């Protein structure tokens, strides 16, 4: 029986990053993964493949709609979905192989198979051929992630009623795709197929898309995506979706309670994800899951069994790769006797539509609800010379700052390269900058980042320069 200082179950961004940090800190470390490749949801069927397809479809969309204005003439343009998927698969393989390399480099033992608790210090690993081995460990980190969620009546059959996993490997470009859920997955994967020519119709339960983000972003993104051909049905309660062979039929109740039906060739179910603990045999370690299926943890990501920790999608909080990574580092450093720190208020969120949507800190709705006295600064992207040069004029940047101290409390943007731009806000907020601090920093010209400065100027004293 092999024995370790720490055994990590699950090799997603939470698990593999935790493993690297544990090894760096001198712990004898093992990681268990049931899939054939390392990297979890993020690398195999999440962040990386979706961004690969978003990039390919964006190139096609630009070639189709924007090249002529740039003075580039193209004839015979057509999308080759199979090649896009082949390229995506290559990107995934290379990235997963990179994780294996990192495990070897850091001398982390990789055990292939399903990990399940025998007791709080013993994990059994059952491989694909049914062979079982046992590992003992002083500490265990559960990093088993999540799976697509669905509600009664919308069970995916993975053929025409699909989840994100199948949407990443379709054999044809749908003529029409229904998307249940106007959240991150629905809008990102909806964008991929809208750009390739599919008609996309979103059926969303809430009165807005991306309902957990600042309301301004949902409104602005709706405008942008409608131009790309998206149709939105908000305030709709899905009753059932049926595979009719060559089509799917979805029945929903609209805001007035009337029954409405939609027909398409595919239906993507994107109503969130649920924590995954199947096969872990948590009970043997003295653990159970809460009502939401999560493993409960305290502020130090420790479960009720002191030597067992849990991180990432399987615990409370945002289901994001970078949140899982930070939690992995946190637990590793805690186990090494350090005093790590993690600021959940400063975990940025990004939606990779074009333009991208990104946010950090409090939304205007949250500040209102908390009775905080705040001021708003904003700047339209179309006022930037850089944006006119690249023909990316949609969007805005909004900065919320304390009315009393001018401290930046939230930054919300829909802008070209917002996924990268948001890091200026995260850094500023980590150092508790005021809007004026950002406004007084020299930003390079011409860049999209000038919109951050201008929004900060607007928040400071309503003195944006270029609007």
For the segment 170-189, give every residue that binds ligand FAD (CB under 6 A). 185
Q: Is 190 in the site for ligand FAD (CB under 6 A)?
A: no
User: Which is nearer to ligand FAD, 17 or 381 (by Cβ)?
Assistant: 17
Q: Is 9 in the site for ligand FAD (CB under 6 A)?
A: yes
Residue pointed to by tokens 């750009």: 195
Among 8, 31, 180, 264, binds ligand NAD (CB under 6 A): 180
For the segment 196-225, give every residue that binds ligand FAD (CB under 6 A). none
Q: Is 197 in the site for ligand NAD (CB under 6 A)?
A: no
Q: CA 91, CA 113: separation in Å to the nearest integer?
A: 24
Among 10, 183, 355, 416, binds ligand FAD (CB under 6 A): 10
Active site residue 445: yes
CB atoms within 10 A of CB 443: 17
What is the token pair recorded at 246? 């060559």
Q: Is 351 in the site for ligand FAD (CB under 6 A)?
A: no
Among 319, 367, 384, 414, binds ligand NAD (CB under 6 A): 319
**Cβ contacts of 209 within 8 Å, gap of 6 or more:** 182, 183, 187, 202, 218, 221, 222, 225, 232, 234
Q: Which does 204 bind (CB under 5 to 8 A by kind): ligand FAD, ligand NAD, none?
A: ligand NAD
List of long-range contacts for 274-278, beta carbons under 8 Å, 24+ apart? 274/146, 274/147, 274/148, 274/149, 275/144, 275/145, 275/146, 275/313, 275/314, 275/315, 276/144, 276/145, 276/146, 276/147, 276/313, 276/314, 277/142, 277/144, 277/314
CB atoms within 10 A of CB 92: 20
Q: CA 199, CA 177: separation in Å to the nearest integer?
A: 6
Q: CA 436, CA 214: separation in Å to the nearest integer?
A: 22
User: Which is nearer to ligand NAD, 56 or 139 (by Cβ)?
Assistant: 56
The alpha carbon torsion through 358, 363, 364, 366 (nearest 10 deg) reads 170
What is the token pair recorded at 376? 């708003």
Taking the complex as a whole, the smallest distance from the CB of residue 465 to ligand NAD amounts, in Å, to 32
User: Which is nearer to ligand FAD, 11 or 378 (by Cβ)?
Assistant: 11
Taking the complex as a whole, the smallest distance from the CB of residue 145 to ligand FAD amounts, in Å, to 2
User: Which is nearer to ligand NAD, 180 or 282 (by Cβ)?
Assistant: 180
Among 188, 325, 333, 450, binds ligand NAD (CB under 6 A): 188
Q: CA 45, CA 49: separation in Å to the nearest integer?
A: 6
Positions touching ligand FAD (CB under 6 A) are 9-15, 32-35, 40-42, 46-47, 50, 114-115, 143-146, 164, 185, 276, 279-280, 312-313, 319-322, 324
Positions touching ligand NAD (CB under 6 A) are 151, 180-186, 188, 203-206, 211, 238, 270-273, 318-320, 350-352
The catalytic residues are 445
């Amino acid at each position: 029986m092999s024995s370790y200082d720490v055994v990590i179950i699950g090799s997603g961004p939470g698990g593999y990053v935790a493993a690297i940090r544990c090894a760096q800190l001198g712990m004898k470390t093992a990681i268990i993964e049931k899939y054939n490749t390392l990297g979890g949801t993020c690398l195999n069927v999440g962040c990386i493949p979706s961004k690969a397809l978003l990039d390919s479809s964006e190139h096609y969309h630009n070639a189709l709609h924007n090249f002529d204005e740039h003075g580039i003439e193209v004839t015979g343009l057509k999308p080759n979905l199979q090649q896009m998927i082949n390229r995506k698969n290559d990107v995934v393989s290379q990235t997963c192989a990179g994780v294996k390399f990192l495990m070897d480099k850091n001398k982390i033992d990789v055990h292939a198979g399903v990990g399940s608790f025998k007791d709080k210090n013993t994990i059994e690993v059952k491989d694909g051929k049914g062979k079982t081995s046992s590992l003992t460990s002083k500490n265990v980190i559960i990093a088993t992630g999540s799976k697509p969620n669905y509600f009664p009546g919308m069970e995916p059959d993975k053929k025409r009623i699909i989840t994100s996993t199948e949407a990443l490997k379709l054999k044809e470009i749908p003529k029409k795709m229904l998307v249940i859920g106007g959240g991150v997955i629905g809008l990102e994967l909806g964008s991929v197929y809208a750009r390739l020519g599919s008609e996309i119709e979103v059926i969303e339960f809430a009165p807005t898309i991306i309902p957990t983000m600042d309301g301004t972003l949902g409104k602005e993104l709706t405008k942008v995506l409608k131009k790309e051909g998206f149709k939105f049905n908000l305030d709709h309660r899905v009753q059932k979706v049926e595979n009719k062979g060559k089509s799917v039929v979805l029945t929903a109740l609209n805001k007035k309670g009337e029954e409405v039906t939609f027909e398409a060739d595919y239906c993507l179910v994107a109503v969130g994800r649920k924590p995954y603990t199947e096969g872990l045999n948590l009970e043997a370690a003295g653990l159970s899951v809460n009502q939401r299926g999560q493993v409960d943890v305290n502020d130090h990501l420790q479960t009720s069994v002191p030597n067992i920790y849990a991180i990432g999608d399987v615990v409370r909080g945002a289901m994001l790769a970078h949140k899982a990574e930070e939690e992995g580092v946190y637990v590793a450093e805690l186990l090494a006797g350090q005093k790590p720190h993690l600021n959940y208020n400063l975990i940025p969120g990004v939606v990779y539509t074009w333009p991208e949507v990104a946010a950090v800190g409090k939304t205007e709705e949250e500040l209102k609800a908390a009775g905080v006295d705040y001021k708003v600064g904003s700047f339209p992207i179309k006022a930037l010379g850089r944006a006119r040069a690249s023909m990316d004029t949609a969007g805005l940047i909004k900065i919320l700052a304390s009315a009393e101290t001018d401290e930046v409390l939230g930054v919300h943007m829909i802008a070209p390269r917002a996924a990268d731009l948001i890091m200026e806000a995260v850094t500023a907020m980590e150092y508790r900058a005021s809007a004026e601090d950002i406004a007084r920093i020299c930003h390079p010209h011409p860049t999209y980042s000038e919109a951050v400065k201008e929004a900060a100027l607007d928040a400071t004293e309503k003195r944006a320069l270029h609007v």
